[in-house]
Amino acid sequence: MEDKAFPVSWDAFHRDARALAWRLAAVGGFSAIVAVTRGGLVPAGIVARELGIRVIDTIGVASYEEETRRGDVRVLKPLSETILTLPSEEVLIVDDLVDTGATAKVVRALLPKAHFATVYAKPQGRPLVDTFITEVSQDTWIYFPWDTGLTFQAPIAKGAP
């Protein structure tokens, strides 16, 4: 089956990340954020600003090869001692998307009581996150604004799709 395209603009992503922050504000109790890099960097920054959280760390996890093919999940940058000394229930993990859940399983194993939040969720990974904003079908490929650029589009009258 061919993947469905779901392009997300900067404005839409910012709106969705702020909506995530609103939901997380109701949960509360977070003293630190862990952004799952690279996709979690932008939403983590937005959530940190909105919730007034100043302690932000990253965990570098790679689960895609060549941006579109899924590969083995590898931790490229571990959590800092600052995060590991906190009670994990005070830690908020933020990522842009949970897809199959492979990355989420690795991060959850390191911080089992942390609250895991993503902007978007697919059905296979959805049970691994605590809070998300939008669910998309498993066969949908999300095009994030940092992965795309503006290009000229020919007018419909000239044969453009």
**Does residue 139 carry a catalytic annotation?**
no
**Residue 131, annotated as binding a ligand:** no
CA proximity to 118, closest of 86, 144, 139, 148: 144
**Catalytic residue, candidates 3, 11, 72, 99:** 99
Query: Would you call 72 a catalytic residue per the annotation?
Result: no
Domain ranges of the chain: 4-158
- The per-residue pLDDT for 2 is 56
User: Catalytic: which of 96, 130, 139, 147?
Assistant: 96
Architecture of domain 4-158: 3-Layer(aba) Sandwich (3.40)
Give the relative orientation of helices 41-51 and 10-27 as an angle to the nearest 10 degrees: 50
Cβ contacts of 111 within 8 Å, gap of 6 or more: 34, 79, 83, 88, 91, 93
Q: What is the pLDDT of residue 70?
A: 62
pLDDT for 73 equals 87
| Model confidence pLDDT, tens digit, residues 58-84 | 999 987 665 555 668 899 999 999 999
pLDDT at 159: 67
Residue 95 among the catalytic residues: yes
- pLDDT, one tens digit per residue, over 89-123 is 999 999 999 999 999 999 999 999 999 999 999 99
